[in-house]
């Protein structure tokens, strides 16, 4: 029988995506490097196995596909993707396509797309978010590649994607790496979202002395309001969960060292290359890196144990909620600015509102706020700033006051809130019409004769420094 689409890599994501495709009525041919995994997968697929065509070789996989052939690769990102591409391409014909659905670095996607184009094969970079559950029942999908080849598989992609009021959370963002880039920035924002929630947890635990279950109940409450989101919801649930072995709150038995696979870091690196600085995401990446220095932190705790602090009054729960909301909007503001800068640099013509829309369901950062963000972007962002959107004016005004109190409190109590502090510094910078870069420019001119612009538009572009390096 002829399958509509093929899939290589029956790991967590690939297996669930295959079941999702089959469940939506599309026959899918599957291949896994270790053949025993394929057998076990088909055996566990139940009634859906009628629409699953197992293949034990790449040749058999390709032979089972209707033309033009389309094969999704869902393997470990990096060299494994190149290995699978190298195995598939000699078996394919012009017009066929390969879709990389893993978390690729978009530079790799651009390189692979160019290499396959030489062979008259199409390459699509497809970002998939939503974890195991999303892959099985509807992820958020971010596509980059040639639009004509996307048209061939669009019905399948839209069928398997999450839905928001009936509309699929899948979109084509532009050529080559555009989809993987949007997915990378999604993950960067996810880092910031998670970190900010963790910072509130820290203030309530170490500042207010609340127990995890109490903090969890507060998060569950917030999840009924404007902060309604998957991450706030699961954070509430996690905090209310006891450890089956000890009966203690499960967070209390988890080592406080965070892992990372690199997408947050890629977001920051790419943003810096583009002349941007997503300081809330940087803070979140930094916090994970610092968390891994456990031994250092233990020594530091012993060394500076006696440093007295004189805390301000802790913000109310309502203020923390407002602060979290404002900081979150600031993090998204920075995320959208990266997308905008990359779109300019790579000529992608990215639709930012569409990114907000595909993130509304299926993915890890799904939240009620994304509806408003998408609407705000469609209404037009003053200076490209989400924080200037008229729709968010009230939230930002109230939230900024609460954020300021929260950061002041944290500083006074000696509790680190790197993402909140960076969000506030960014906000205060973006509302300061005259900053302090006049002095930076003078310093640069003094030591390096770099010159400066005068506010009166006058011609003298250097200062009268005695003993400074000679200038032109
Ligand atoms: P798993 O570790 O569960 O599965 C990895 C798969 O890759 C296996 O099928 C493995 O085959 C295959 N593989 C590894 N190396 C090779 C190779 N050299 N040649 C052929 N096949 C190979 O990974 P996941 O399903 O979690 O992740 C897959 C991709 O999806 C990654 O890019 C990941 O970043 C991304 N992703 C994961 C999410 C998640 O929540 N887990 C969410 C969104 C994206 P074998 O059985 O033979 O070892």
DSSP state of 304: T
Q: What is the pLDDT of residue 460?
A: 75
Q: Are 15 and 101 in contact (CB under 8 A)?
A: no
Question: Is residue 183 annotated as part of the catalytic site, yes or no?
Answer: yes
State mean pLDDT over 321-337. 98
Q: What is the pLDDT confidence band of residue 192, given thresholds at 50, 70 and 90?
A: very high
Read off the pLDDT of residues 5-48 as tens digits, 9 standing for 90 and up: 999 999 999 999 999 999 999 999 999 999 999 999 999 999 99
State mean pLDDT over 444-469. 88
CA 4 to chain centre: 30
Read off the pLDDT of residues 384-439 as tens digits, 9 standing for 90 and up: 999 999 999 999 999 999 999 999 999 999 999 999 999 999 999 999 999 999 99
What count of Cα atoms within 13 Å lies in the side-chain half-sphere of residue 147? 5
Rounding to the nearest 10 degrees, give the CA dihedral for residues 47, 52, 57, 58. Answer: -160
CA 11 to chain centre: 22
State mean pLDDT over 277-284. 98
CA distances to 38, 65, 97, 180, 299 from 88, rounded to whole Å, are 18, 13, 10, 21, 53
State mean pLDDT over 201-213. 98
Q: What is the pLDDT of residue 1?
A: 62
Q: What is the pLDDT of residue 459?
A: 79
The token duo for 285 is: 């990446």
Q: Is the pLDDT of residue 467 over 90?
A: no
Q: What is the pLDDT confidence band of residue 466, given thresholds at 50, 70 and 90?
A: confident
Number of helical (H) and strand (E) elements in the chain, helices listed first: 19, 10
State mean pLDDT over 363-378. 97
Rounded to 5 degrees, what angle do the CA atoms 394, 355, 190 make?
75
Domain ranges of the chain: 5-176, 184-430, 441-472
Which of 67, 93, 118, 183 is an active site residue?
183
If you take atom 34 of ligand 1, which residue's CA is the nearest one?
A: 103
> Cβ(75) to ligand 1 under 6 A?
yes
This complex has an ipTM of 0.97
Per DSSP, what are the bridge partners of residue 249?
Answer: 242
Q: Is-same-fold flag (5-176; 184-430)?
A: no
> Cβ(109) to ligand 1 under 6 A?
no
Q: How far apart are CA 310 and CA 232, in angstroms?
A: 30
Question: Please, what CATH class does the domain formed by 184-430 belong to?
Answer: mainly alpha
Q: Are 416 and 410 in contact (CB under 8 A)?
A: yes
State mean pLDDT over 337-356. 97
Which of 56, 148, 190, 337 is an active site residue?
190
> Cβ(395) to ligand 1 under 6 A?
no
Average pLDDT, the chain: 96
Question: Is residue 59 annotated as part of the catalytic site, yes or no?
Answer: no
Q: What is the pLDDT of residue 469?
A: 60
From 185, 212, 188, select the one nearest 200 (Cα to Cα). Answer: 212
Q: What is the pLDDT of residue 157?
A: 98
Among the atoms of ligand 1, which is closest to the Cα of residue 129? 43
Q: What is the pLDDT of residue 187?
A: 97
Q: How far apart are CA 127 and CA 295, in angstroms?
A: 36
Read off the pLDDT of residues 125-181 as tens digits, 9 standing for 90 and up: 999 999 999 999 999 999 999 999 999 999 999 999 999 999 999 999 999 999 999
Sheet with 28-31, strands from edge to edge, namely: 52-54, 28-31, 5-8, 70-73, 97-100, 122-129, 140-144, 170-174
> For the CA atoms of the chain, what is the radius of gyration?
25
If you take atom 42 of ligand 1, which residue's CA is the nearest one?
A: 131
Q: What is the pLDDT confidence band of residue 468, given thresholds at 50, 70 and 90?
A: low
Binding-site entries for substrate = 103, 129-131, 186-187, 191, 261, 288, 444, 450
Q: How far apart are CA 102 and CA 109, in angstroms?
A: 10
- % of the chain with per-residue pLDDT over 70: 99
From 400, 362, 343, select the one nearest 353 (Cα to Cα). Answer: 343
Hey, how many other C-beta atoms are within 10 angstroms of the C-beta on 433? 4
Among the atoms of ligand 1, which is closest to the Cα of residue 34? 47
Q: Is the pLDDT of residue 267 over 80?
A: yes
Q: Is the pLDDT of residue 240 over 90?
A: yes
5-176 maps to CATH 3.90.650.10: no
* CA 76 to centroid of ligand 1, rounded, Å: 4
> Cβ(131) to ligand 1 under 6 A?
yes
> Cβ(11) to ligand 1 under 6 A?
yes
* CA 95 to centroid of ligand 1, rounded, Å: 26
> Cβ(402) to ligand 1 under 6 A?
no
Q: What is the pLDDT confidence band of residue 470, given thresholds at 50, 70 and 90?
A: low
Q: How far apart are CA 126 and CA 375, in angstroms?
A: 25
Tell me which of 13, 80, 127, 140 to substitute to probe ligand 1's pocket, judged by most ligand atoms within 8 Å of the beta carbon. Answer: 13
> Cβ(80) to ligand 1 under 6 A?
yes
């Amino acid at each position: 029988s002829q399958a509509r689409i093929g899939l290589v890599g029956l790991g967590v994501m690939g297996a669930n995506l295959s079941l999702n495709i089959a469940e939506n009525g599309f026959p899918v041919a599957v291949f896994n490097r270790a053949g025993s995994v394929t057998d076990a997968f088909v055996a566990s697929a139940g009634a859906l196995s009628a629409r699953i065509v197992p293949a034990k070789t790449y040749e058999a996989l390709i032979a089972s596909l209707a033309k033009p052939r389309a094969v999704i690769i869902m393997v470990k990102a990096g060299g494994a993707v190149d290995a699978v591409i190298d195995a598939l391409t000699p078996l394919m014909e012009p017009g066929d396509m390969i879709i990389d659905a893993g978390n690729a670095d978009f530079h790799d996607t651009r390189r692979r797309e160019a290499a396959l184009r030489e062979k008259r094969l199409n390459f699509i970079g497809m970002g998939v978010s939503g974890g195991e559950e999303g892959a099985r029942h509807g992820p958020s999908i971010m596509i980059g590649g040639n639009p004509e080849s996307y048209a061939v598989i669009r019905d399948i992609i839209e069928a398997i994607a999450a839905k928001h009021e009936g509309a699929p959370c899948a979109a084509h963002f532009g050529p080559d790496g555009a989809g993987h880039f949007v997915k990378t920035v999604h993950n960067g924002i996810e880092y910031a979202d998670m970190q900010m929630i963790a910072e509130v947890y820290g203030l309530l635990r170490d500042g207010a002395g609340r127990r995890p279950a109490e903090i969890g109940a507060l998060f569950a409450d917030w999840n009924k309001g404007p902060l309604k989101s998957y991450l706030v919801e699961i954070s509430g649930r996690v905090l209310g969960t006891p450890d089956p072995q000890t009966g203690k709150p499960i967070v209390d038995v988890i080592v406080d060292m965070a892992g990372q696979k690199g997408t947050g870091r890629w977001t920051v690196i790419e943003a810096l290359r583009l002349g941007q600085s997503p300081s809330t995401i940087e803070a979140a990446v930094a916090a994970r890196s610092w968390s891994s220095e456990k031994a250092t932190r233990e020594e530091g705790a012993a060394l500076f144990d006696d440093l007295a602090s004189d805390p301000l009054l802790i913000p109310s729960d309502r203020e923390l909620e407002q602060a979290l909301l404002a900081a979150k909007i600031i993090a998204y503001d920075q995320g959208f600015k990266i997308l905008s800068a990359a779109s300019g640099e790579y000529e992608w013509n990215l639709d930012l509102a569409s990114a907000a829309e595909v993130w509304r369901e299926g993915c890890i950062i799904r939240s009620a706020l994304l509806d408003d963000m998408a609407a705000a972007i469609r209404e037009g962002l003053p200076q490209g700033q989400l924080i200037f959107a008229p729709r968010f004016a009230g939230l930002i005004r109230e939230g900024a006051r609460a954020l300021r109190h929260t950061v002041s409190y944290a500083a006074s109590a000696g509790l680190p809130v790197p993402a909140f502090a960076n969000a506030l510094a960014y906000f205060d910078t973006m509302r300061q019409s005259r900053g302090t870069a006049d002095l930076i420019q003078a310093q640069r001119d003094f030591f390096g004769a770099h010159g400066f612009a005068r506010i009166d538009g006058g011609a003298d572009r250097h200062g009268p420094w005695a003993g400074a390096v000679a200038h032109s």
